Chains A and B, each alone.
Chain A
């Protein structure tokens, strides 16, 4: 060992250089699987969608370039605008209450005196594990058109209202679908908020208590501002998610899903164009428009939440 110590620097540098080269090759090799699959089935289809949006194509005969006609066709179709309207309405009704209730539940679940925490957490989270198809089927029975469906029973016997055709009326379908979205996701958001609340250092509250802040002030000036990143995250994901609503209305309406318009969403409109009407050009145009809509909502979202953060910080100072 000692006898070769003089040679070591050269030897090590050489080894180091080849080592670095090996690392480089390994690095590229190890990230390659993702990028190869992505190029094949992620990037190429996304770009091809853009190409297809300017073609007239029924899937069989040769494509024909047709300029902006697909976009014109989609944007002048009342059913498309109906689907945009439906998507936004159900998005708001399904997610806004979900986030508020999730925040409240997380706050309560974090109370120090609370017993059975595990039980409450598990039960409130459970709906999230049910697949969207299962949720839609359960709710299609709970909220069926029959006068004797559980939802109608509650309406007529406890609230003194008329029964509603949940699967065949403008607001009935939207409310039923919003409720199922709410039911499935509220626990998920609660868990994320709970993680957020628990990440707030305790000394902040102790300092505030010393300064004489009551529980409500602490909630307003410590908990909510500190929760900002978590709120932004959930608002963002649920906004983007609600723009992509598909499974719930499709399964809830079953055989009527693509013939009725009360709950048709943008993705359902896209799906119908492509796989029911074989109009792949307009369907691709719809996909591009959907991307634009999602981007707009995402940007509005980021703008709003940034404003919200600044205002809160302003109050705190």
Chain B
């Protein structure tokens, strides 16, 4: 004990000060753009021209937001993004867990080939099919509509991979065998036995899918051309797509679009962070 004490006391020296300093600077640099975005969102655009720069919040939070609301359909964009992400997340969870269940627990000819095929689809860069995908959506009459955006996001090979891993480990074969002896149909086994067990994995995959779709830009930008159907990302991008830029307004828009997600993150940060490692490392 005393030995350990000595060691920890010794570490509380120059070395540890440097470590703290380094991490402190890193955390400040991570946070500063958020803080500064808030400052700018509360200031008139003219504050931008002052030297030295303004670093304290002003009182124009509401006014700048009003300017954003005049420029783009902010709430419409947030709502569209929310609907888009929610539907995609639910569908991906369903498709992935069903397929993951099949790959983990059923025997059928060609299973391994199909699974390798799922993995191979991960490597195809999304830009390769962009143009035909655009015309496909256009042919189907789904341009400028959320379903037109959604369908591409339903493809999520990573989800199938994660679900297969999780179901293999977490759902005992005996449980499935027992349910079969009781005359459960396979879908009933999936619905009543597998689903409740894999709920934690749903949280992980759900966070990965929701945040990825929320932030995706290229596809939404390509399919959505009508301001009525803009998601928040496409709507925000319009703020800078002019030569007459109002910085206060831009950052106000970004601020209000970022805050909801940040609050959710701060509440569930452990879940978020573990979802990243589960999603990429496994």
Q: Are B30 and A124 in contact (CB under 8 A)?
A: yes
Q: Are B131 and A283 in contact (CB under 8 A)?
A: yes
Residue in contact with B131 in the complex, picked from A22, A49, A250, CB distance below 8 Å:
A49
Binds A, one of B20-28, B59-67, B196-204: B20-28
CB-defined contacts of B180 to chain A, threshold 8 Å: 19
Q: How far is the CA of A134 from the CA of B218 in the complex (A)?
A: 14
Q: Are B22 and A108 in contact (CB under 8 A)?
A: yes
Q: Are B33 and A140 in contact (CB under 8 A)?
A: no
Q: How far is the CA of A31 from the CA of B95 in the complex (A)?
A: 8
CB-defined contacts of A243 to chain B, threshold 8 Å: 125
Q: Are B245 and A254 in contact (CB under 8 A)?
A: yes
In the assembled complex, B280 has its CB within 8 A of some CB on chain A: yes
Min CB distance A138 to B, Å, is 5
CB-defined contacts of B273 to chain A, threshold 8 Å: 121-122, 125, 191
Q: Are A192 and B280 in contact (CB under 8 A)?
A: yes
In the assembled complex, B98 has its CB within 8 A of some CB on chain A: yes
Residue in contact with B130 in the complex, picked from A24, A195, A287, CB distance below 8 Å:
A287
Chain A's closest residue to B214 (CB) is: A131
Q: Are A254 and B26 in contact (CB under 8 A)?
A: no
CB-defined contacts of A128 to chain B, threshold 8 Å: 276
Chain B 134-163: CB-based contact to A (< 8 A → 1; otherwise 0): 111000000000000001101101001000
Q: When A22-B186, A287-B130 are in contact, do A255 and B102 touch as well, CB less than 8 Å?
A: no
Residue in contact with B262 in the complex, picked from A37, A126, A240, CB distance below 8 Å:
A126
Min CB distance B112 to A, Å, is 12
- State which residues 110-128 of B face A: CB under 8 Å: 111, 114, 117-118, 121, 124-128
CB-defined contacts of B30 to chain A, threshold 8 Å: 123-124, 126-127, 183, 187
Q: How far is the CA of A45 from the CA of B236 in the complex (A)?
A: 29
Q: Are B33 and A183 in contact (CB under 8 A)?
A: yes
Chain A interface, number of residues (Cβ within 8 angstroms): 99
CB-defined contacts of B190 to chain A, threshold 8 Å: 30
Majority-rule SS of A interface residues: helix
Q: Are A120 and B27 in contact (CB under 8 A)?
A: yes
Chain A 7-21: CB-based contact to B (< 8 A → 1; otherwise 0): 000000000000110
Residue in contact with A270 in the complex, picked from B98, B99, B130, B187, CB distance below 8 Å:
B130
Q: Are A137 and B109 in contact (CB under 8 A)?
A: no
- State which residues 97-124 of A face B: CB under 8 Å: 101, 104-105, 108-109, 111, 113-114, 118-124
CB-defined contacts of B135 to chain A, threshold 8 Å: 59
Q: Are B107 and A126 in contact (CB under 8 A)?
A: no
Q: How far is the CA of A183 from the CA of B258 in the complex (A)?
A: 16
Binds B, one of A69-77, A79-87, A144-152, A306-314: A144-152
Residue in contact with B34 in the complex, picked from A19, A45, A113, A126, CB distance below 8 Å:
A126
CB-defined contacts of B222 to chain A, threshold 8 Å: 271, 275
In the assembled complex, A68 has its CB within 8 A of some CB on chain B: no
Q: Are B218 and A41 in contact (CB under 8 A)?
A: no
In the assembled complex, A290 has its CB within 8 A of some CB on chain B: yes
Q: Top 7 closest A-B pairs, CB basis?
A: A45-B129, A45-B132, A131-B215, A254-B240, A27-B108, A30-B102, A27-B106
Q: List 17 A-B contacts (CB under 8 A).
A: A26-B187, A30-B99, A30-B101, A34-B157, A37-B151, A41-B151, A44-B129, A48-B129, A113-B8, A113-B11, A120-B27, A125-B269, A131-B214, A141-B40, A247-B217, A287-B127, A287-B130
Residues of B within 8 A of A (CB): 8, 11-12, 16, 19-20, 22-23, 26-27, 29-31, 33-34, 36-37, 40, 48-53, 95-96, 98-99, 101-103, 106-109, 111, 114, 117-118, 121, 124-136, 151-152, 154-155, 157, 160, 180, 186-187, 190, 211, 214-215, 217-218, 221-222, 233, 236-237, 239-243, 245, 247, 250-251, 253-254, 257-258, 261-262, 265-266, 269, 272-273, 276-277, 280-281
Residues of A within 8 A of B (CB): 19-20, 22-24, 26-31, 33-35, 37-38, 40-42, 44-46, 48-49, 52, 59, 101, 104-105, 108-109, 111, 113-114, 118-134, 136-142, 144, 146, 148-150, 153, 157, 183, 187-188, 191-192, 194-196, 230, 233, 237, 240, 243-244, 246-247, 250-252, 254-255, 267, 270-271, 274-275, 280, 283-284, 287-288, 290-291, 294
Known A30-B102, A41-B133, A141-B250; 15 more pairs at CB < 8 Å = A23-B186, A30-B101, A30-B190, A34-B157, A37-B151, A45-B129, A114-B20, A120-B23, A126-B265, A129-B272, A132-B215, A132-B217, A142-B33, A188-B276, A237-B280
